[in-house]
Structure 1
Amino acid sequence: MEIPKSELYSVLQEFNPWWSGQPLADLPEWERSAVKQVWNWATATDSRRALLLSGARQVGKTTVFRQTIRKLLASGRPPTHILYATFDHPLLKLAGLQQTLQAWEELFPPVSSEPTRMLFLDEIQYVQDWQTWVKHQVDFHPSSRVAMTGSADPLRQGTVESGVGRWETLPLPTLSFAEYLRLRRIDIPELPMVRSLRQLFEWHDAEFALTAAAARPLMAHFHEYLLRGGFPEPALAHDLARCQRLLREDIVDKVLKRDMTAFYGVRRILEVEKIFLYLCYHDGGILDIPTLTQQLEGVNRQTALNFLDLFESTHLIYRLKPYGYGKEVLRGRDKIYLADAALPGAVLLLGRKLLEQPERLGAAVETAFFKHVFIRYYSQSPRFAYWQDRKNRGLEVDLIAEAGERLVPFEVKYDDGEITPKRLRGLRLFMEERGVGEGYVITQRWDDFKVLDVTSARRGDTSSASIGRIMAIPAPLACYWLSV
């Protein structure tokens, strides 16, 4: 559709106030760690690849872009060489990408001797055939760099081959625990800097005791984090009721009722809501599709599988396969984590009652911890899985990160029970069978913060020889250290 040039110019100038020397308004000084990553991409000289910043709705992708633009302007980048456009704006959505870029170039014609021009394109999924355009841009226009955001997985709308070598993907999850503390301006205790949780295996008893004493105030803030979640605007709401209402209305409802329809043509919204509600009840659990279809009237196996794909595509869930290879993975059931630990409580209207329900609180902690591990290990292209003993389904390991040749097993035991070797039999058995010397258990009790030497978990094995070590870490500390 042809849009009057005057209207297009007006919208672009509103989105790009720096063209006329105006500052970026209402932009916080505090920056997420993703801003540094986007800045590194924008200033790199050894790659021409585009960047796709991918994450759920309202997670802060636009703010990350605008803060990066602020840094570029402060570094001396010519203001007219930077374009920001969001394609969920009605007029830009009608105009399309080509008309939008033509308007920019008519306002500020490019000159071959000028520095690289930067394009920040928000909600790129609204642009038809955008993958092909990015491919051509990267291949044939070296004088410009393209960064994009998307709230829906682009590879479900086009060929995977289009993106190979043309763009890199940077996932933007909800706020980490450390980011949440900074956003809400909460005083953080003086804690030792821990770059890797492996460092803790070298600590002495006194270091564990002193750190636990200093970190205890984090527990109340961690529980509040589980209730409020990591979406920036709801997290800043004055009261919890409003926070959780925003989570339901702005995050869940808009994705389920608008994005599913707009991007994937879904018409059976009631079935979508049923399945998502079921996932909220079973967050952090192993999903059995036959059980789901029996309990949800009118939902068959294929429908359930299709909607799970769409939930993953719109960044509402993560899915883990069982650890192993070949048939044991292909035939195995998925483990489901929601995108943020606060979503189930908000959807199920639990409020602060979540903290009084040990099983749901444990699931929320496991979901939050998985998100932190996912982000910490993402740059190493890991494989995430869970493990169950095939002979005894009662023995399992909640989370395994496989990065290269290294296996890192994690178990979450968030309750007031003492962490004993007997309670960790699944983790011990996995370590013994796979030859893994170090594992981790995420706890609630500060008294459990220590290293445990563990022996064989095989039945009948009475040997007292150590097979490895398990680090027990209180959940607030583990999530904090993984996010700084």
Structure 2
Amino acid sequence: MIASSAELIAVLRQYNPWWSGGRFQDLPTWRRAAFREVNDWLKDPPAGRALLLSGARQIGKTTLLLQAIDVLLDQGVPPTNILYATFDHPLLKLIGLDGLLRLWREFEPAREGVEYLFLDEIQATKDWQVWLKHQVDFEKRRRIAVTGSATPLETEGLESGVGRWHTIRLATLSFYEYLQIRNDPVPQLPAVSTFVDLFEKSPSWFARIGEDSRPLTALFYEYLLRGGFPQSALVKSIPMAQKLLREDIVDKVLKRDMTALFGVRRVLELEQTFLYLCLHDGGLLDMQTLCKNLEVKKPTAVNFINLLEATHLIYRLLPFGYGKEILRAKAKVYLADAAIAPGVLLKGKGLVEDADELGKAVETAFFKHVFTRYYQRSISFSYWRGGKKDQEVDIIADVGGRLIPFEVKYKGSNVGSGELKGVVEFCREHKVRRAYVITKDAADFGVLRLAGGEIEVLKIPAHLACYWLGRSELEATELQEIDA
């Protein structure tokens, strides 16, 4: 043993101050929308499952666990029945999961009642999935919550782990959460739990709310520049926020995690691949062009793309449809947060002045909000291209066979029917009667009727769409559908 038991328990006590009557200091009192799910699991785990909280680094997974521990302590759970550990610490990683439990119980005897284990970055330990399966199957008095920054938490050992954990996928802060965590002054706006309600509003209501929402535009631009990572969101200087974002992603994820978790040795080529995706955020991924430009072989590039998705840095959308042709088609790639590209590419505030790049960032931000709000429903997302003129719809949500198209048109002051031919063609082809268009101007807000009134399109400014999606996620007591 490299370290003695005394040295190890000293480390563990630092992570568990409640054993000695203390608490973690400066823990945020404000809670993210995902905390509701964590709290529900604390009260009543579904079928006795463990909790898996997955997501990229630096997005607040640890804070959620510590807030959950705070709730348990307030409820009178014996402090020594609560264990927190992070396997980012080299000594804790060294002793492993069983060694950790032996150490805990050697120095802190169990009390009556449920035992709670909160384990950060569990993917760094050996055979974690077998251990977790055993705990869930045979240690019925324990409730275990684990976090990880890589999808292999969900896919490794899937056969042995099926039904053993409940997954919460944590994304970066929504625009609404960003405003809350920064305590920025915002206009008083009505709550909207589902966009379908807006189809019934009057033109005067749209005009009034659009005008009231104008102060959100500048805050939305700052959100696109700072990003939805809590640490970077709270930094006063936008250049410093982007620097933190760049260091966390490039240095910690690409250079450290990829090597430690996946054995990546060609880190420079991986970094170049990620930079390529930053330059083409929200675009179609042409693997042949990528390989030619970066001078990498296709299997290597495909592996890199898979790893970037596994570490929650990108989302991939396949084209709408079914069959082998769809699987072979080009994927559409979104970064996990709109601020990643300007941060990594050192664009500073120039993003806001570049209409094309700003439009890409808005599309990325909007997709993240829609995906985050509704992923619990196992909604599938795709994009659509069709027609003789190669028309496109940016995002198609499939809600149990009911299709909902979203098109982002973040240019100009008034999106008209001439710019929505792709939306009309998709709706006609698939018998969809309602669609959504994300616009730029606060005044470009209302219902547009197309195709002789057969198709209703809700035009909604991006800052309002993201604000309401984040707010409804935070305030909802149960999931609402996008459309009726």
Equivalent residue for 1:140? 138
- 2:47 and 2:324 mapped to 1: Cα distance? 39
Residue 46 to residue 294, structure 1, CA distance change in 2 (3 Å): closer
Alignment of 1:341-356 (within 5 A): 341-356=338-353
Alignment of 1:403-482 (within 5 A): 403-455=399-451, 465-482=452-469
RCO higher in 1 or 2 (8 Å CA, sep ≥ 6)? 2
Equivalent residue for 1:249? 247
- 1:46 and 1:429 mapped to 2: Cα distance? 43
Equivalent residue for 2:258? 260
1:302 pairs with 2:289:
no
Mapped contact 1:58–1:251 kept (Cα < 8 A) = no
Equivalent residue for 2:54? 54
- 2:67 and 2:45 mapped to 1: Cα distance? 20
Secondary structure of the residue aligned to 1:385 is strand
- 1:121 and 1:27 mapped to 2: Cα distance? 18
Instruction: After TM superposition, give the deviation of residue 390 of structure 1 in Å.
Output: 5.1
Equivalent residue for 2:127? 129
Mapped contact 2:80–2:109 kept (Cα < 8 A) = no
- 2:153 and 2:244 mapped to 1: Cα distance? 29
Among 310, 318, 325, the residue aligned to 1:321:
318
Mapped contact 2:449–2:457 kept (Cα < 8 A) = yes
Secondary structure of the residue aligned to 2:160 is helix
Secondary structure of the residue aligned to 1:198 is helix
Equivalent residue for 2:63? 63
Instruction: After TM superposition, give the deviation of residue 20 of structure 1 in Å.
Output: 1.1
Instruction: After TM superposition, give the deviation of residue 157 of structure 1 in Å.
Output: 7.0
Equivalent residue for 2:479? none
Deviations 1:235-285 (A, max 9, x none): 111211111111111223211101111011111111101111100000000
What residue ranges of structure 2 are gaps of 5+ in the alignment?
A: 472-484
- 2:161 and 2:332 mapped to 1: Cα distance? 28
1:401 pairs with 2:388:
no
- 2:470 and 2:256 mapped to 1: Cα distance? 32
Deviations 1:157-209 (A, max 9, x none): 72221221001110111110000001111122111110011110111112111
Among 106, 118, 121, the residue aligned to 1:120:
118
Mapped contact 1:412–1:443 kept (Cα < 8 A) = yes
- 2:239 and 2:153 mapped to 1: Cα distance? 36
1:5 pairs with 2:5:
yes
Deviations 1:397-445 (A, max 9, x none): 0001112122111000001242111100101111111111110000001
- 2:445 and 2:72 mapped to 1: Cα distance? 43
Q: For residue 405 of structure 2, what is the amino acid of its counterpart?
A: P
- 1:248 and 1:289 mapped to 2: Cα distance? 25
Mapped contact 1:322–1:328 kept (Cα < 8 A) = no
Aligned residues: 471
Instruction: After TM superposition, give the deviation of residue 366 of structure 1 in Å.
Output: 0.4
Equivalent residue for 1:459? none
1:338 pairs with 2:325:
no
Secondary structure of the residue aligned to 2:35 is helix
- 1:416 and 1:423 mapped to 2: Cα distance? 11
- 1:472 and 1:162 mapped to 2: Cα distance? 47
What residue ranges of structure 1 are gaps of 5+ in the alignment?
A: 456-464
Among 159, 162, 177, the residue aligned to 2:160:
162
Secondary structure of the residue aligned to 2:403 is strand
Alignment of 1:5-24 (within 5 A): 5-24=5-24
- 1:330 and 1:368 mapped to 2: Cα distance? 25
Mapped contact 1:8–1:100 kept (Cα < 8 A) = no
Q: For residue 286 of structure 2, what is the amino acid of its counterpart?
A: D
- 1:396 and 1:452 mapped to 2: Cα distance? 19
Instruction: After TM superposition, give the deviation of residue 154 of structure 1 in Å.
Output: 2.1
Secondary structure of the residue aligned to 2:460 is strand
Mapped contact 1:228–1:243 kept (Cα < 8 A) = yes
TM-score by length of 2: 0.95
Secondary structure of the residue aligned to 2:443 is helix
Mapped contact 1:413–1:444 kept (Cα < 8 A) = yes
Deviations 1:47-100 (A, max 9, x none): 210111001111111111101111111122221111100001111011111111
Equivalent residue for 2:174? 176
Residue 291 to residue 156, structure 1, CA distance change in 2 (3 Å): farther
Secondary structure of the residue aligned to 1:351 is coil
Equivalent residue for 1:37? 37
- 2:252 and 2:347 mapped to 1: Cα distance? 21
Secondary structure of the residue aligned to 2:147 is strand
TM-score by length of 1: 0.95
- 2:65 and 2:264 mapped to 1: Cα distance? 30
Q: For residue 346 of structure 2, what is the amino acid of its counterpart?
A: L
- 1:345 and 1:244 mapped to 2: Cα distance? 8
Mapped contact 2:213–2:442 kept (Cα < 8 A) = no
Q: For residue 384 of structure 2, what is the amino acid of its counterpart?
A: W
Alignment of 1:201-280 (within 5 A): 201-280=199-278
- 1:300 and 1:156 mapped to 2: Cα distance? 28
Mapped contact 2:211–2:443 kept (Cα < 8 A) = no
Query: Aligned Cα RMSD in Å?
Result: 1.3
Among 368, 371, 375, the residue aligned to 1:374:
371
Mapped contact 2:434–2:455 kept (Cα < 8 A) = yes
